[in-house]
Amino acid sequence: MQQKILVLQSRMNAELLAREQRTYAELVPEAEWAFISTLDERISWQDPEVVVGSMDTVIIGGSGDFDFDEGRAPDDEARRTSHRLAERLRPLVNYVMDTALPTLGICYGHQLVAEIHGVPVVHDPEQAKSGSEDVTLTEEGKRDVFLGELPETFVAQYGHKDSLSALPEGATLLATGERCRFSALRYTPAFYTFQFHPELTAADMAQRLSNLPGYMPDGAEINHVMRASPEASLLIPRFIEHFA
């Protein structure tokens, strides 16, 4: 049976929207992919059953346009938009959790879900990172039915300035890193979130970072912070196969 996958996108740039759609669709080409923007006010967000429809899996994707903090002023529009989006998606997040619909939150999606669960996402220079980083499974992660098949330490692609300030209530910490305390979480048996980008290869991330000023440390060369991430690249296809 062909799987139906809904991706919620939080981007304004049309080129990046289209590129992200191609990236996801290429991960599981036999699936039926649908994409909607969290910025679309015409959607009945208060009726998540209608939004989700007959989808088998939901992915809450990343964003290079909005931040919950990033050291901006409290009334900065990017921050205000992030909090509006968290409230907008609250009914949908509650719905997919209640109905056990397989769901992934990725990077900004990871942060959105944490904010919905009452954990502030803050600008933390010690955890901010761009490029390839090691991810290490916790003891819970090693026992997890989904992530437990991975090596104890693997490489993933990161690109974020904000980070979770604490572990959300009810969530289980599955993976961490030297510079990322909350790399992978499990909220319910079929609801996971990642601070890293499993949909992106090292080449994808290098291209992404080259178009995002301020994400790379001063003087850093993109190619010097990139490593292949073969295990992470299998996570989304494996998630769909395992849960959907």
Q: Domain extents for the chain? A: 4-243
Share of the chain above pLDDT 90, in %: 78
pLDDT the model gives residue 220: 53
Q: Which residues contact 29 (CB under 8 A, 6 or more apart)?
A: none
9, 221 in Cβ contact below 8 A? no
pLDDT the model gives residue 216: 47
Nearest to 137 by CA among 174, 165, 101, 99: 174
The string of pLDDT tens digits covering residues 205-243 is 877 666 555 554 555 555 556 899 999 999 999 999 999
- Pairwise CA distance, residues 224 & 205, whole Å: 12
Average pLDDT, stretch 167-196? Answer: 96
Q: Where are the beta strands (DSSP E) in 98-169?
A: 103-106, 121-123, 129-137, 153-160, 162-164
pLDDT the model gives residue 203: 86
pLDDT the model gives residue 178: 85
| Range in 136-140, 147-151, 178-182 the model is least confident about | 178-182
Q: Taking the model in full, what pTM does it have?
A: 0.92
48, 95 in Cβ contact below 8 A? yes
86, 115 in Cβ contact below 8 A? yes
Classified by CATH at the fold level, domain 4-243 comes out as Rossmann fold (3.40.50)
Rg for the chain, CA atoms, rounded: 17
Q: Which residues contact 45 (CB under 8 A, 6 or more apart)?
A: 51, 88, 89, 91, 92
| Range in 152-156, 201-205, 231-235 the model is least confident about | 201-205
The string of pLDDT tens digits covering residues 82-136 is 999 999 999 999 999 999 999 999 999 999 999 999 999 999 888 877 889 999 9
Mean per-residue pLDDT of the chain: 92
Angle ∠(12,123,234) on CA atoms, nearest 5: 65
Nearest to 204 by CA among 181, 233, 224, 182: 233
pLDDT the model gives residue 218: 52
Average pLDDT, stretch 46-59? Answer: 98
